[in-house]
Amino acid sequence: MKLDSNVPEGELAEKWTKYRSTMNLVAPNNKRRLEVIVVGTGLAGASAASTLGELGYNVKCFTFHDSPRRAHSIAAQGGINAAKNYQNDGDSVYRLFYDTIKGGDYRSRESNVHRLAEASTEIIDQCVAQGVPFAREYGGLLANRSFGGVQVSRTFYARGQTGQQLLLGAYQGLSRQIATGNVKMYNRHEMLDLVTIDGKARGIIARNLLTGKLERHAAHAVVLATGGYGNVYYLSTNAMGSNVSAAWRAVRRGALMANPCMCQIHPTCIPVSGDYQSKLTLMSESLRNDGRVWVPKKKEDAIAIREKRKTALDIPEEDRDYYLERRYPAFGNLVPRDVASRAAKVACDAGNGVSPTGLAVFLDFSSAFERYGHSEALSQGINNPTAEKIIDLGREVVKKKYGNLFQMYEKITGENPYVLPMKIYPAIHYVMGGLWVDYNLETNVPGLFALGEANFSDHGANRLGASALMQGLADGYFVIPYTIGQFLSKEIRTPNISPDLPEFEKAENDTRQRLQRLIDIKGNQSVESFHRRLGKIMWEYCGMSRNAEGLTKARQELRALRDEFYSDVFIPGTADEFNPELEKATRVADLMELGEVMTLDALDRNESCGGHFREEYVTEDGEAKRDDENYAYVAAWEWDEQEPQVHKEELVFKNVELKTRSYK
Amino acid sequence: MKLTLKIWRQKNNSTKGSFETYQVEADEHMSFLEMLDVLNQQLIEAKKDPVAFEHDCREGICGSCNIVIDGRPHGPQKGTTTCQLHMRHYKDGETITIEPFRASAFPVIKDLVVDRAAFDRVIQAGGYISVNTGQAPDGNSIPIEGDIAAKSFDSATCIGCGACVAACPNGSAMLFTSAKISHLGLLPQGKIEHSKRSQKMVAQMDKEGFGFCSNVGACEAECPKEISLDNIARLNRSFVGSVFSSE
Ligand SMILES: Cc1cc2nc3c(=O)[nH]c(=O)nc-3n(C[C@H](O)[C@H](O)[C@H](O)COP(=O)(O)OP(=O)(O)OC[C@H]3O[C@@H](n4cnc5c(N)ncnc54)[C@H](O)[C@@H]3O)c2cc1C
Ligand code: SF4
Ligand code: FES
């Protein structure tokens, strides 16, 4: 299969503008006759559905949640990037483009990333107009902060709840379109299959989760904005319901899964504390602006802390190893996520970890308390403040910036982070991999589009902080409304697709049988227990570091797990009722198949780049060793029960020079 | 720790529910929902029907979780959602009563799961600023005073969980609705539609069968995001204003 990225001709900086002004349009009267299905109401789906509705298309929008507002995007904390250069610190569209390409370790498509950087500025304007209450300076203008992997301050934020506020903005826009009837909303409906007719995506099979009834929904085009599959690791920062099924069902119908092994491990999460644990909680990357990461230099100190004979406060300054500042003086605590995560693993593997499991490092705010305390004392005109007063003042400043995160930490761990440093450890957070799409965000299945975290398009092998929100909204507000026209302009003569066509009937029957098969197993183990085991295999062999032997083993274990699942899983109830266990079962079944393709992809990529770290490919000083000569490609996988096949899209870099990524 | 759980079980909206008693062994580090996971694992192993409850983010932001614990929506801790409640606040041997949010506008779907779609319809009635994609001026073209932005933000942090309704003896949705009206109405961008928005949202709220507000204040006390009663006061003031101005 030849993968055509359909990147328009022309200079990088002009491609999008030119393309937009010359692409095929759909006249308003025709838009009304064209139906579009949007699956997902996260940032990508809600922004797409509302904008397509505004344009006059007939939109049907689906979410498995009870309300569009609950999509996982709601949980994003830190912020959203935009090349506004409001801080006058040298930011520009080009710089955001360059940082993203470099941050992604040169495994993303130049043209898509540049378009993303261009759209970024419009996103902020749009959100402000919708009433998103971004943080502001005293003068009333928008405030910014820095995130990892960049040296400018371009991140817009709404306290530690940026995702919530952006999603509410998009949700409100969507609600307005629902009220006008341009969008018909289907809550608590889960897409369980994609329907293709003559090779084109023409609809979906959705299960009404309240009644269990299978429904056929037809349209001229289908847009998937169904989020990422980080939950293949069981423990992740994703919401419990996040899953791969919509995308995976599309793969089962011929779409390709690109770079599935590219997962992001976030360096600052609350460490695992026990076997019962159901999910991990992120502590926003923005904390690394003010927190310093360290472990004790001496192993005996680390052991004493683990055994609770000492606390962080007992370790004198000279016995602390601020390893990020030591190893990466140029970026210090603000190195990109993949680098920071691996460094934490190195420190813990060496025996210097600080939680009972030995898998945690400190994130310490005491210098920030002091620094802010001093300047606060000055600005409040307090003469000769005591050391305590300074710390108190500093704590107040930090509280204003990150109060909700500190509170969240305390609720979960029972420890007060204003007194003791936080303990953190890397955890699965985001997936760069996703459905393969071309420049139009169209998959290899004509008429099937993928947006947001569900596609692979912009972040290469590693995503920079605050870029997922940007991408979701860019895709939904500013890209798909144009590019879907390229496809739909050729469909204006296609009458409404009938859900009575045999293809729909077959897909519905397939789905019904699949569900019944699961119910009928009546084995002895819960879905949850399989999910946990799946997660353990993935984390062990396809997690923070990988090697050929482990990956090969993982694939065998995954196959064995799948066989066991299909012979021994127990699902209570029936398929014709509200049945959360059945919902989980279909999701875990799909995650298991995906897991296998992830191991194949990780095995195929004989290099280390970004989030993909192969132990066999390291430089002398332990950094990732990329192989541009042989692996500067996107690996797009075609599913096959026996042997999934890889197709390659070569990446061409005309505007940036491929360099070894250095943050030293 | 060993706990006794009295949990409301109800097969669906057309059957009557009742309490059932279960024993569960929990660990102090678990979250409340993880404790329920343990119970469900037990039930599944015994081939019984697990307790249905709603949850997703498990970090207090999505607004999915909604359980009345010992008579209080989201349990005993102030400013805390059910998913953020941890078992270290309970002692060995305790009995905990667990029920769904109860309000006529939130019909029970199963066990602890209720239907809160009425909230969506209140937002659809006018809880937005009418701006199409692409129409926006530069983000910095209208400076907003920090204090106003912060107030608007405080109202905007509502997670749409419905605890305010469940806490209210009248089943009123005033806290939820007024928080959205304040969030938007305080901002210069949202001022233009403010009166219309308030009227339409309040009318929809009534239509959905939420009760009237008699200033009991239970909503504020139980709100996990500590949304303030000021929002209701602000709405009452401006709503009276908007009725006058439209006449
Ligand atoms: C804790 C946390 C913090 C984060 N913080 C940041 C941050 O500060 N900045 C940043 O840029 N990024 C951040 N991210 C990443 C970012 O939040 C996500 O990548 C992004 O929100 C994904 O948006 P989305 O629209 O693609 O998908 P989602 O928001 O995951 O939405 C998926 C939607 O699809 C629906 N869906 C899925 N499958 C189906 C199906 N089969 N049928 C019907 N509906 C379906 C769901 O119901 C949902 O509506 C964070 C992520 C996490 C986990
Ligand atoms: S006002 Fe508070 S209790 Fe009511 S829905 Fe919002 S967050 Fe929940
Ligand atoms: S599960 Fe999301 S708020 Fe509780």
Interface of A with B in 267-296 (CB under 8 A): 273-274, 276-279, 281
Q: Which of A652, A415, A345, A541 lies closest to B88, judged by CA? A: A415
Question: What is the SS3 string spanning A143-188?
Answer: CCECCCCCCCCCEECCCCCHHHHHHHHHHHHHHHHHHHCCEEEECC
Q: Which residues line ligand 1 (CB under 6 A)?
A: A 39-45, 62-65, 71-73, 75-80, 162-163, 190-191, 225-228, 237-238, 242, 245-246, 282, 429-430, 452-454, 466-469, 472
Burial of A9 (0-12, 13-18, 19+ CB in 10 A): exposed
- Lowest pLDDT segment from A23-37, A240-254, A393-407, B188-202: A393-407
The Å distance, Cα A477 to ligand 2 centre, comes to: 29
Together in a domain, B137 and B236: yes
CATH number of the domain bearing residue B30: 3.10.20.30
**pLDDT for B240:** 64
Q: Which residues of A touch B134 (CB under 8 A)?
A: 122, 126, 477-478
Q: Please tell me which residue of chain A has the smallest CA distance to B39.
A: A276
Together in a domain, B143 and B28: no
Together in a domain, B121 and B73: no
**CA distance to partner chain B, nearest, from residue A133 (Å):** 6
Share of chain A above pLDDT 90, in %: 93
Q: What is A502-628's CATH number?
A: 1.20.58.100
What is the number of the ligand 3 atom nearest to the C-alpha of B224?
3
Per residue in A62-99, pLDDT (tens digit) is 999 999 999 999 999 889 999 999 999 999 999 999 99
Q: Which of A573, A150, A143 lies closest to A332, judged by CA? A: A150
**pLDDT for A238:** 97
8 Å CB contact between A546 and A615: yes
Q: Which residues of A touch B45 (CB under 8 A)?
A: 524, 526
Q: Which residues of A touch B139 (CB under 8 A)?
A: 84, 124-125, 127-128, 134, 142
Residue A410 sits at the chain B interface (C-beta within 8 Å): no
Query: Can you list the positions of beta strands (E) in A56-112?
Result: 58-62, 80-81
**Run of H or E residues at A295:** strand A292-296
Together in a domain, B159 and B220: yes
User: What is the extent of the structural domain holding B233?
Assistant: 116-246
| Residue B34: count of CB within 10 angstroms of its CB | 21
Together in a domain, B201 and B121: yes
**pLDDT for B246:** 40
CA atoms lying within 13 Å on the CB side of residue A420? 19
Per residue in A44-54, pLDDT (tens digit) is 999 999 999 99
Q: Which of B168, B182, B172, B159 lies closest to B231, judged by CA? A: B182
> How far is A100 from A572, CA to CA, in rounded Å?
46
pLDDT surpassing 60 at residue A281? yes
Length of chain B: 247
Q: Where in chain A is the domain with CATH 3.90.700.10?
A: 265-428
Q: Which of B161, B56, B149, B171 lies closest to B103, judged by CA? A: B171
> How far is B94 from B74, CA to CA, in rounded Å?
17
pLDDT surpassing 60 at residue A529? yes
Q: Which CATH architecture has domain A265-428?
A: Alpha-Beta Complex (3.90)
Together in a domain, B8 and B83: yes
From A159, A337, A555, A605, active-site residue: A337
As a whole number, mean pLDDT of residues A516-525 equals 98
Active site annotation includes A614:
no
Q: Please tell me which residue of chain A has the smallest CA distance to B122.
A: A175
**pLDDT for B242:** 57
Amino acid at A275: D
Which residues are within 8 A (CB) of B188 and not within 5 positions of it... i.e. 6 or more apart? B142, B144
Residue B145 sits at the chain A interface (C-beta within 8 Å): yes
**pLDDT for B244:** 44
Q: Which residues of A touch B38 (CB under 8 A)?
A: 276
What is the value of pTM for the model shown? 0.96
Which residues are within 8 A (CB) of A129 and not within 5 positions of it... i.e. 6 or more apart? B129, B131, B135, B136, B137, B189
Q: Into how many domains does chain B fold?
A: 2
Place of tokens 């003031």: B237
Q: Please tell me which residue of chain B has the smallest CA distance to A176.
A: B124
Alpha helices in chain B (DSSP H): 32-45, 117-124, 146-156, 163-167, 174-185, 188-191, 194-207, 218-222, 230-246
Give the β-pairing of B95-100 and B67-69.
antiparallel
Per residue in A548-577, pLDDT (tens digit) is 999 999 999 999 999 999 999 999 999 999
**CA distance to partner chain B, nearest, from residue A369 (Å):** 23
8 Å CB contact between B146 and A137: yes
What is the number of the ligand 1 atom nearest to the C-alpha of A282?
1
**Ramachandran category for residue A564: left, alpha or beta (phi over 0 → left; psi -120 to 50 → alpha):** alpha
Would the CB atoms of A133 and B123 count as touching at under 8 Å? no
Looking at B77, B110, B143, which one is the last position of a domain?
Answer: B110
Residue A70 sits at the chain B interface (C-beta within 8 Å): yes
Q: Which residues of B touch A570 (CB under 8 A)?
A: 44, 47
| Residue A470: count of CB within 10 angstroms of its CB | 29
Q: Which of B62, B138, B187 sits opposite A125 (nearest CB)?
A: B138
What is the number of the ligand 2 atom nearest to the C-alpha of B119?
5
Residue B226 sits at the chain A interface (C-beta within 8 Å): no
Residue A230 sits at the chain B interface (C-beta within 8 Å): no
Q: Where in chain A is the domain with CATH 1.20.58.100?
A: 502-628
Residue A401: band (very low, low, confident or very high) from pLDDT cuts 50, 70, 90: confident
Q: Which of B38, B189, B72, B56 lies closest to B113, judged by CA? A: B56
Per residue in A14-36, pLDDT (tens digit) is 999 999 999 999 999 999 999 99
Instruction: Give B56's DSSP letter.
Output: S
**pLDDT for A546:** 97
Together in a domain, B188 and B219: yes
Together in a domain, B131 and B220: yes
Domain A27-259+429-488: state its class.
alpha beta
Together in a domain, B100 and B199: no
Looking at B110, B144, B170, which one is the last position of a domain?
Answer: B110
Tell whether ligand 2 has an atom less than 6 A from the beta carbon of residue B106: no
CATH number of the domain bearing residue B213: 1.10.1060.10
**pLDDT for B247:** 33
Which one of A37, A66, A72 would you pick to mutate in the ligand 1 pocket, going by the greatest count of ligand atoms within 8 A of its CB?
A72
Note the ligand closest to the C-alpha atom of A473: 1
Mean pLDDT of successive 10-residue stretches along chain B, which has 247 residues: 98 96 95 97 96 97 98 97 96 98 97 98 98 96 94 97 98 98 97 96 97 96 98 87 47
8 Å CB contact between A63 and A189: yes
Residue A274: band (very low, low, confident or very high) from pLDDT cuts 50, 70, 90: confident
Tell whether ligand 2 has an atom less than 6 A from the beta carbon of residue B174: no
Which residues are within 8 A (CB) of B49 and not within 5 positions of it... i.e. 6 or more apart? A572, A573, B43
The Å distance, Cα A70 to ligand 3 centre, comes to: 9
Residue B4 sits at the chain A interface (C-beta within 8 Å): no
Q: Which residues of B touch A51 (CB under 8 A)?
A: 132-133
Residue nearest to atom 3 of ligand 3 (CA): B60
Tell whether ligand 2 has an atom less than 6 A from the beta carbon of residue B225: yes
**pLDDT for A262:** 98
